Amino acid sequence: MNFFRTPAWRMAWREARASAPKFLFVVFGVAAGVGALTGVRGFSAAFHDSLKREARTLMAADLLIRQFGEPTEEQEKVIAQWEQRGARLSRITETVSMLAGGENEPPVLVSVKAVDPATYPWYGRVRLEPEAPLATALNAETIAVSEDLMLRLNLEPGSRVRLGDAEFRVWGVVRLEPDRMTGSLNVGPRVMMTREGLQRTGLLVFGSRASQRLLWKLPAQGARIEELRDSMRKTFREALITDYRETHPFITRALDRATTFLSLVSMIALIVGALGVAMAIHSHIQQRLDTIAIMKCIGARSAQIIRIYTLQAALLGLAGGVAGLAVGAAVQWAFPLLLRRYFQFESLAWSASFAVEGILAGLLVALLFTVPPLLAIREVKPALIFRREMPETKPPLRLRLRRLLPSAGAGALILAGLGAMAAWLAGSVKTGAWFAGGLTAALALLGGIAWLLLRALRWLMAHAPVRLPLWLRHGVANLYRPGNHATSILVSLGVGVMFTLTVYLVQNSLLKEVMVAMPKGAPNVFLINITPRDADAVREFLASRKDIDGRAQLVPTVAARLEKVNGTPLDELPPPPGEEQRRRRNFTRQVTWMQAMPEDMRILRGAWWSDGSREALQSVDENTAKRWGIEPGAVLEWSAAGRRFEARVAAIHRFESVRRGASDEFVFTEKALAGLPVQYYATARVRPEQTAVFMRDSFRRFPSVTVINAADVVNIVQEVVDQVSLVIRFIAGFAILAGAIILASTVAGTRLRRVRESAVLKTLGARRRTLVSIFSVEFAILGGAAGFLGGALATGFARLLMTRLLDARFDPEWRANLVTTLLTMALAIAAGWLASLRVLSHRPLEVLRDE
Amino acid sequence: MTAPVLSLRDVAKTIDTGTHRVEILKDISFDIGKGEFVAIMGASGSGKSTLLGLVAGLDTPTSGSIRIEGDEISRLGEDELAVLRGRKIGFVFQSYQLIPTLTAEENVLLPAELAGEDLAAAQQRARELLRTVGLEERLDHYPVQLSGGEQQRVALARAFIRKPPLLLADEPTGNLDSVNGKHVLELLLSLNRREGATLVLVTHDRELASHATRIITLRDGRILSDERRATA
């Protein structure tokens, strides 16, 4: 038989059509969840595709090498060999420095990128404003900057600025940089210049730690990418090497993690939408009890009737899924805007493959949640048809408990279904199980507390010491009327609020933690890239300052790499545990020398050297020593600046406090590092109100010294955290939206009842104002309670996360909770009135006559 | 003698709500033979609707036995009862009880479709029944587009679609004016004569009951009288 001619389909379709206005809201609720999910996953897939498709443009090359420090002589030889074979190289140097607009302006920390405009980029293009080819715009005297720097320093094309030892003219704004994503971390606004220009600044001296990027382009014929990559891997042992065949590992890893996380957040929105479907179907079935009873009278089995309403639930889920595609497309469009600060997308193809996934997810979750109300159809007594009050025989306890079994089974099925879906989205069974379990616990907790709250409210109203106004009493009483589902609405709205606020509270606490982590009296200003030439002058400068508390410290650092322990190359030593340690052991470290033993160091074995020691000695941190089996007396061989040197281990130490700056692992005597290229850094505690002046004065005297204000770093961290949490809250917002839609849906479902009540109240003398107050009280309580509960639980979860998981402090933010409660209240009132728009406009007689 | 279509033996129905116990029916025993037209009468609260509910398998007796065409129904499960109702019982309710989202023809067809009967044959019979009750022009009208009398006529046609041996009617003219009520009653009786079903009708209307060949009167849950009459 043709499915669309079966009674089940006909009834399901026609009932759904007849109930379309009331189901519309529910469809939107599901659409919110599906939209968030398809938006996140579609964007992620499109991003992945873009990374693959645009790989060459995104790295502006066929193969990219990134390392700190210029290539060594040996590396340059290999480069030359490849160039002879027709491969072409473009070099980029990236560093941070200070740039000042005017004489009296405090300088700004900027990310400098020095390129060769004749060759960069190999793929894609840099777009400047005013428009011009890069080779025309940039020369040794000019720079291009990002828009935020223009705004911050009030610059225009033609303005003059100072960077290091040199002055430059600003060409204009960098609008598009194809390889921005694959560059170094951008800690400040962008300054793009030529390599000759960078030379003029004097910022780069031998040993300074700028990031070097080598961009290779292979000829169409000839050497293959695999060969080039193998050669580069052997030659550039410490470098990050990636080519266009793979997407950038850091980016894809971050993208995958973000996708998983946001998918699970979207699932919360989807579940709220599905709760709405369940509530709507439950109400719908309640309103159709007569129909169900008739059908049982004329021969329908429960299964046949359940089929009809399952089809309706499926139609709702499907409609929501399809509507969700439009929402998802909008979300995919919004993401690049949210992330434009860090990622630039020329174009992002809309991914259709996740459309099917989203629709199926909407359908599945809607069906799962409607299992309990559908099962209740079996309990509908056909004797209901006689409309007589037939007192029920109270069934024995055993029978009542047995009747609960299907509901318990349905609950278990829902939990399993959610867990499976979460596991599929997260790509991990464990994550799926935790998510489903955690969410269910949160929903159950929210539901339980909501129920208690409503009961408490009811009790309070009944036992109020004074007679409360009519509109307040009726408004509260409306919450308990049949069909109002107040508890479910509280849960739906509350869960979205809870999640969004938890993100906000954790974000704020983390930032406070970062700021508080600076102990009182700790340095708040760091001066880096101090050359040996400037070291004494900087020391004098710092000593002469009146705005520094305590003594400023100047610390020497040398970039060196450990090669052998007691004659055994590192590669031949037993590997340390954990991949991270394995990766790090061949890396160049920043090491330092000290003659006097620092106060916060404790010697565990061996002995510290005397102040005037002329031996090449070192002290090793206890954990490092344990890892590589180093004891006092061991001889370690190092390489630095193309030279090899040895130092004997004199002591094994432990630092008692957390230190910043050079590695804590190895400390040398001055003799051990003599003759090696040195850079200094200094730390100082500058009075916060004087930092701007300090930075200006320092820049005037030492333009090549970069001054980092800890407060600025915190601001940058804050910006990044803000950005991340903005994206999370954007997606979590869909859960709140779905909750508001559910509220509107339930209000719409009780429309008829409200119309009747309004007609009766008007007949008895109630003015419009009174009716508005009654309804508003009802919506306000729902929204306020949801906001309050969501906020309270968010505070609880945030405390749990911060104290247990992150081992950090947490202070409740009562103001945030209050604002959340008020906003949710406002949202609920708006949603409720949207669904009640025409209720008050009916004339009493026309309503009562229809009765 | 042929077996009775409906047979009740010592049927009782008691309600125990936990706080009090109510005997709604007690010691109900009677047989109804094929083709009989039985009216069950009694004042409000006499138990007649409860009795109809038990006979229809919509409720279960506390004790006693109920057989329809020899099949004991008092211990059957819900789904088995639903199938039995579809096969053996036709219903006509006071408030018509049509499915609002189905047309007149679809309402009449519904019992046949639920039972999985051949659709073409069932459709032919449905149309024929609707023609008999004078609604051949209203096949595709929804209940909301029909008057009360017309809706009850659709319900009549639906009751007969599967040729049930037993037809139960609960105040079939209760919601109709006298003209429509008379018309519907005539149709019910003529259809019943033609189809050969056994008709059990619950009513408090003496006029309506006067058409029956037998009147069972209930009072306080027991049979007060069981009176056979000559056909009106």
Residue A579 one-letter amino acid: E
Of A1, A7, A297, the CB nearest to B58: A297
Closest-approach residue (CA) in chain A for B85: A299
| Chain A: closest CA distance from residue B99 (Å) | 6
CB contact under 8 A, A18 and B49: no
Is the separation of the CB atoms in A706 and A528 below 8 Å?
yes
Of A15, A299, A303, the CB nearest to B101: A15
DSSP letters of A745-785? HHHHHTHHHHHHHHHHHHHTT--HHHHHHHHHHHHHHHHHH
Nearest Cα residue to B7 out of B161, B166, B231: B166
Closest-approach residue (CA) in chain A for B108: A298
CB contact under 8 A, B106 and A10: yes
Whether the upstream peptide bond of residue A677 has omega within 30° of 0, thus cis, is: no
CB contact under 8 A, B99 and A385: no
Residues in chain B, total: 232
Interface test with B, best of A386, A389, A403, A850 (most B CBs within 10 A): A386
Write out chain B residues lying below 8 Å of A300, CB-based.
Answer: 82, 86, 114
Write out chain B residues lying below 8 Å of A8, CB-based.
Answer: none
Residue spans of alpha helices (H) in A339-352: none
Determine the average pLDDT of the residues in A790-803: 88
| Chain A: closest CA distance from residue B86 (Å) | 4
Closest-approach residue (CA) in chain B for A383: B58
**Beta-strand relationship, A88-100 and A160-163:** antiparallel
Q: A313-341, pLDDT tens digit by residue?
A: 899 889 999 999 888 888 888 887 877 76
Which residues in chain B come in under a pLDDT of 70? 1, 17, 230-232
Name the one residue in this structure whose structure tokens are 């050079």: A662
| Chain B: closest CA distance from residue A752 (Å) | 18
pTM: 0.74
CB contact under 8 A, B58 and A383: yes
**Could you tell me the pLDDT band of residue A847, with boundaries at 50, 70 and 90?**
low
Q: How far apart are CA A41 and CA A39, in angstroms?
A: 6
Q: How far apart are CA A305 and CA A302, in angstroms?
A: 5
**Could you tell me the pLDDT band of residue A389, with boundaries at 50, 70 and 90?**
very low
Tell me the two tokens of residue A436: 């489903």
Residue A761 one-letter amino acid: L
Is the separation of the CB atoms in A470 and A770 below 8 Å?
yes
| Chain B: closest CA distance from residue A391 (Å) | 7
Interface test with B, best of A297, A381, A387 (most B CBs within 10 A): A297
Write out chain A residues lying below 8 Å of B122, CB-based.
Answer: none
ipTM value of the model? 0.86
SS3 A351: coil
Report A:298-317 residues touching B (Cβ under 8 A): 298-304
A444 touches chain B (CB under 8 A): no
End-to-end CA distance of chain B: give it in Å, rounded.
24
Q: What is the pLDDT of residue A519?
A: 61
CB contact under 8 A, A302 and B82: yes
Nearest Cα residue to B66 out of B132, B13, B133, B107: B13
Determine the average pLDDT of the residues in A656-669: 71
Percent of chain A with pLDDT over 90: 22
Of A10, A290, A392, the CB nearest to B97: A290
| Chain B: closest CA distance from residue A822 (Å) | 43
Nearest Cα residue to A219 out of A322, A329, A312, A89: A89
End-to-end CA distance of chain A: give it in Å, rounded.
41
| Chain A: closest CA distance from residue B156 (Å) | 12
CA A381 to chain centre: 52
Which long-range contacts (C-beta less than 8 Å, at least 24 apart) are formed by A426-430?
A: A426/A260, A426/A263, A426/A264, A427/A260
DSSP letters of A561-590? EEEEETTEEGGGSPPPSSHHHHHHTTSEEE
Least confident range from A456-465, A479-488, A493-502: namely A479-488
CB contact under 8 A, B114 and A7: yes
Q: What is the pLDDT of residue B94?
A: 86
Determine the average pLDDT of the residues in A119-133: 92
A388 touches chain B (CB under 8 A): yes
CB contact under 8 A, A386 and B82: no
Closest-approach residue (CA) in chain B for A14: B101
pLDDT at A161 > cutoff 80: yes
Tell me the two tokens of residue B13: 């129905």
Tell me the two tokens of residue A20: 């379309």
Report A:393-422 residues touching B (Cβ under 8 A): 393-394
Q: What are the b/e assignments for A151-173, b being 16+ CB within 10 Å?
A: ebbebebeeebbbbebebebbbb
Where do the DSSP E strands lie in B136-197?
166-170
Closest-approach residue (CA) in chain B for A291: B99
Chain B interface, Cβ < 8 Å to A: 15-18, 22, 49-50, 52-53, 56, 58-59, 78-79, 82-83, 85-87, 91, 93, 95, 97-102, 106, 109-111, 113-115, 119, 158, 162, 170
Is the separation of the CB atoms in B133 and B187 below 8 Å?
yes
**Could you tell me the pLDDT band of residue A208, with boundaries at 50, 70 and 90?**
low
User: How many contacts does A have with B, using Cβ atoms within 8 A?
Assistant: 99
Q: What are the b/e assignments for B58-87, b being 16+ CB within 10 Å?
A: bbbbbebebbbbeeebbebebeebbbbbbb
CB contact under 8 A, A291 and B52: no
Of A11, A298, A394, the CB nearest to B101: A11
Q: What is the pLDDT of residue A385?
A: 65
Angle at A829 between CA A827 and CA A834, to 5 degrees: 95
pLDDT at A561 > cutoff 90: no
pLDDT at A383 > cutoff 80: no
Q: A390-442, pLDDT tens digit by residue?
A: 455 556 677 777 777 777 788 888 888 888 888 888 888 888 888 888 888 88
Burial of A690 (0-12, 13-18, 19+ CB in 10 A): middle
Closest-approach residue (CA) in chain A for B113: A7
| Chain A: closest CA distance from residue B115 (Å) | 7
Residues in chain A, total: 851
Identify the residue with better confidence: B24 or A599.
Answer: B24
Q: What is the pLDDT of residue A851?
A: 44
Of A15, A298, A392, the CB nearest to B114: A298
Write out chain A residues lying below 8 Å of B59, CB-based.
Answer: 381, 383, 390
Closest-approach residue (CA) in chain A for B22: A391
Determine the average pLDDT of the residues in A812-831: 92
pLDDT at A216 > cutoff 90: yes
Q: How far apart are CA A624 and CA A652, in angstroms?
A: 9
Q: What is the pLDDT of residue B41?
A: 93
Tell me the two tokens of residue A518: 């600076």
